[in-house]
Amino acid sequence: MLNVEQAIAEVAGVYQSITGRAIKPGRYELPPEVDPASHAESNYRQFKVLLEQKARASAEPRGKSEPAFAPPVDVVELEREVRVMVDVPGVTREQLVVSMTGDALTIRGERGALRSAAGMMRLEERRKGPILRTIALPPRARRDGIEATLRDGVLTVVIPTDGHGNDVTEVPIDVK
């Protein structure tokens, strides 16, 4: 169970270290159908995943490689599953690595530059290079029965939510 006071203090500390200002109290109304404790716990888990991701990224050796970018994602939580849709146009199945560690889904990949043999590049707006996206999942996300499909540049990962996410070992997910 989440210790709310500890979570608030940790978030406030990180906010102050980044901005140099204390968090100002505010008010946020949840819809009546949303459980406040589950909502706070989910957001806190997502916050912790982002901090861990940032810590891992800063610990990696710096080279001439480009920083990873996070492609757009939609996450839909249904009664018995969570669906994650990630835009990855120009990325093949072989270039994608999808895994689940604890209650986090991680998507890694590489989108290379599409260079023509002849001609000079005049405008280049589409992102290329390494892709990294981590999505926090509910604690009841099951580690088996996960399906990942890539169609028309959209990776769809379906995670059943009738299990327990206590295991922290990394589980690779085959993309079909």
Contact of 159 with 103, CB cutoff 8 Å = no
In angstroms, the CA 156 to CA 161 distance is: 16
When pLDDT is cut at 50, 70 and 90, the band that residue 147 belongs to is very high
pLDDT-derived band at 144, boundaries 50, 70, 90? confident
Among 3-17, 82-96, 131-145, the minimum mean pLDDT is found in: 3-17
Q: What is the pLDDT of residue 75?
A: 92
Number of other CB atoms surrounding residue 82 within 10 Å: 21
Determine the pLDDT at residue 61: 57
Q: Is the pLDDT of residue 154 over 90?
A: yes
- Residues 36 and 41: their CA atoms lie apart, in Å, by 9
> Cα 67–76–82 angle (5° rounding)?
90
Residue 114 has pLDDT above 80, yes or no: no
pLDDT at res. 66: 60
Quick one: pLDDT band at residue 58, thresholds 50, 70, 90?
Answer: low
- Helix/strand/coil percent split, the chain, to 5: 25, 30, 45
Give the fold, CATH level 3, of 68-176: Immunoglobulin-like (2.60.40)
Q: At what angle do helices 36-59 and 4-19 cross, to 10 degrees?
A: 40
* pTM for this entry: 0.60
Please state the rounded mean pLDDT for residues 60-65.
55
155 contact partners, CB below 8 Å, separation of at least 6: 84, 85, 86, 88, 91, 96, 98, 107, 148, 149, 175
How confident is the model over 27-54, as a mean pLDDT? 75
φ, ψ of residue 101 to 5 degrees: the values are -130, 120
Contact status, residue 172 vs residue 98, Cβ threshold 8 Å: yes
> For 17-35, how does the pLDDT look when each residue is reduced to its tens digit (9 = 90+)?
666 677 776 766 777 777 8
